[in-house]
Amino acid sequence: IFINSVESGVHLENYVLKMFCRELLISGSDEDFLSVSDVFINKLQNEYTQQDCLEAVACVLARIYRLTGNVNDFFKTALKNIAVTPCSEICMELGNYFFDAGDYAEAVLWFINAAAETESILEIRTSGDLPLYRLADCYEKLSRQAEESGDTETAAVYENNRLEYLKQAKNWELPEELI
């Protein structure tokens, strides 16, 4: 409905645009993001001027650029957000980028930023259990790498970190004011 409206020339109200972006981030598959990429890249990113709309569009664009391997536009989009008012959604995208690149130590930094240093603007779980689960994933990879290189002591530390973040993720609950 949203895409058909935009493609037929309808200007979405600010709250509708943010709702669309929120829905994509909460329940959209990679294919969903790819299917709306043309509309976001060619129309929506240039159509809105209100800061919260620009931030919402940036979150979707960062995911689209990461999924399509458009590294230059991914970092332009992400770094503009980080320079102004960082949000957990963009920190998650940066963490996922570095995780996919195999740079797990850098991914840890961005997932920690998502979990503890920034606030979500669209998807509350991006500052809650989602980065905690991804931290557990990072420490699992780091533990394996340390073990493969013969550093069992570091591997054990990483494994303990993995278990701790997994526990935190499983115990995370929505903030009381959102229930």
Decide which of 10 and 36 is more confident: 36
Cα 93 from chain centroid (whole Å): 3
Helices and strands counted in the chain (H then E):
11, 0
Share of the chain above pLDDT 90, in %: 79
Supply the pLDDT for residue 45. Answer: 82
Joined tokens for residue 54: 């620009």
Closest residue by Cα to residue 49 from 9, 19, 11: 11
Closest residue by Cα to residue 126 from 138, 110, 137: 110
Supply the pLDDT for residue 86. Answer: 95
Q: Is the pLDDT reported for residue 139 higher than 80?
A: yes
Supply the pLDDT for residue 179. Answer: 62
Joined tokens for residue 90: 């963009």
Nearest 10 degrees: CA dihedral of 143, 147, 153, 154?
-40
Joined tokens for residue 139: 């420490």
Closest residue by Cα to residue 82 from 47, 108, 49, 117: 117
Supply the pLDDT for residue 166. Answer: 98
Q: Alpha carbon of 95 to those of 70, 72, 99, 111: distances in Å?
A: 16, 16, 6, 5
Enter the pTM of the model: 0.93
**CA separation for the pair 50, 62 (Å, rounded):** 18
Helix (H, G, I), strand (E, B) or coil at 114: helix
**CA separation for the pair 26, 167 (Å, rounded):** 22
Q: Is the pLDDT reported for residue 2 higher than 90?
A: no
